[in-house]
Amino acid sequence: MAQFIGIGIGAGLVSALLFGVLLKATALAILLYLLAPLPILIVGLGWSHRAALVAAFTGALALSLIVQPFLGLGFLAYLALPAWWLAYLALLGRPGADGTMEWYPTGRLLAWTAGTAGIAFVAIAVIAAPNYETFQSQLRGMTRTIVRIQADRAAGAPVPKPVTPDAGVEAPVEPAPETPAEATRTEVANALAAIAPGLATQGLTVLLTFYLWAAARIVRISGRLPRPWPDLAATVMPRRVLAVLAGSIVLALVPGYPGVLGVALAGALSAAFAMQGLAAFHDRSRGRPGRLALLFGLYVVLFLTQGVALVALTLFGIADTALDRRRPQGSAGRP
C-alpha cells in the first residue's frame, strides 16, 4: 500500500508540474502541458488505479496550494480524473469459463474515452463560468475574434485608424452601423460558437486515446502491463453507442449547459467513430494484395483533404458498428 501511495504522489507532482508550466505560454510550455496526463496513466496501468487516483488528487492539491485553487480544480476535472478513469477501465477484467482472463473490450474503452472527453469539457466549462450566459458570452467573443482575424488575413486589409475630429468640435458618439460583411462575420462566429464544444471534444477524444495508447506502450516495454496487447484494428464500439450519439444530438437542442453537453458528446463520439473507421480500414485490408499501398493512400488522402476525409471515416465507423460485420462468430473466429 505504501508503495503505490508513494508512486502516486510522485506521479501527481510530475503531472502538476507539466500542467503548471502552461502559465509561461511558450511553445515548449504547451508541449509539456500536453504530456501532463501521461504520468497518471502510466502509474494507473503499471501499478494500480489507486495509484492513479492518488496522483490525480496530489497534483490537484499541489496546484491549488502553490498556484491557485481554480487551476487545481481545472486540472482535476479536465485531465487528472479522466486519466484515472481510463486507466481503471483498461485494467478491468474477469475470469472466463475456461479460466482465462476476459479483459475490458477496446470498443467499449473507446466509447468511454469519448464520453469522458465530453463530460470533462462541460465540467471545465462550468468551473470557469458557472453562469451559462457568461460562458456563451466568452465563447462568442472568442469565436468573433478568430473570425475577424481570419477575415482580415484573407482580405489583407490594414486595420483602419480612428478619425480625430477638429479641435474644439465635439464629435457625436454614435454606434457605427453594421455592414453586411460584419453581419456575415457575426453569423459565422455565432455558428462557430454553437459547435465549438463539439470541435473541442473531438480533439480531446483523440488526445485521450493517444495518451492511453502511449502510456500502455511505455508500461508494456517495462513489463508491468497486466493485460496482453489487444488487437487494436479489431476495435468495434457496441451498437448502443449509436443510441447515445442520437441522444446527444437531441440533447444538443436543449438550452443551457445540457445542450452544451449534447454538442460535446456528439463531437467526441464523431471522433471516436472516425478512429473506429480507421481501425476498420486496417482490419478489412488484412491479407489483401497491396495493403501497404492502400494504407499509404488512405493517410495521404487524410492529410490532403482533412475535414472531408474525417467525415467519411466517421460515417464508415458508424456503418461498421451498425452492420456489426466484424464480430467474432463462435468458434469460427472472425468472419
178's grid cell: 453594421
pLDDT at 200: 93
- What is the b/e burial string over 256-268, where b = at least 16 CB atoms within 10 angstroms of the residue's CB? ebebbbbbbbbbb
184's grid cell: 456575415
Q: Which residue has the higher pLDDT, 326 or 213?
A: 213
The predicted model gives 24-46 an average pLDDT of 86
Query: Which helix (DSSP H) or strand (DSSP E) does residue 132 occupy?
Result: helix 132-155
Closest to 43 in 3D by CA, of 213, 225, 208, 209: 225
> 127 burial class (0-12, 13-18, 19+ CB within 10 angstroms)?
middle
321's grid cell: 458498428
Mean predicted lDDT score pLDDT of the chain? 85
pLDDT at 157: 52
Amino acid identity for residue 212 in this structure: L
pTM score, two decimals? 0.85
pLDDT at 167: 47
Say if strands 93-95 and 101-103 run parallel, antiparallel, or are unpaired.
Answer: antiparallel
pLDDT at 265: 96
pLDDT at 155: 64
pLDDT at 252: 94
Chain centroid, CA 143 distance in Å? 19
- Write the DSSP symbol of residue 79: I
In contact, 63 and 16? CB cutoff 8 Å: yes
> HSE of 126 in the Cβ direction (CA atoms, 13 Å)?
14
Cα separation, 226 vs 143, whole angstroms? 45
In the block, cell 481570419 appears at 150
Backbone angles phi, psi at 101, to 5 degrees: -85, 130
With a pLDDT cut of 90, the percent of the chain lying above it is: 50
Confidence of residue 331 (pLDDT cuts 50, 70, 90): very low
What percent helix, strand, coil does the chain show, rounded to 5? 75, 0, 25
Cα separation, 317 vs 320, whole angstroms? 5
Cα separation, 106 vs 231, whole angstroms? 8
Cα separation, 200 vs 198, whole angstroms? 5
Q: Which residue has the higher pLDDT, 233 or 325?
A: 233
Cα separation, 183 vs 279, whole angstroms? 43
In the block, cell 493517444 appears at 210
> 147 burial class (0-12, 13-18, 19+ CB within 10 angstroms)?
buried
Residue range 55-86, pLDDT digits in tens: 999 999 999 999 888 889 999 999 999 999 99
pLDDT at residue 161 above 60?
A: no
The predicted model gives 191-209 an average pLDDT of 91
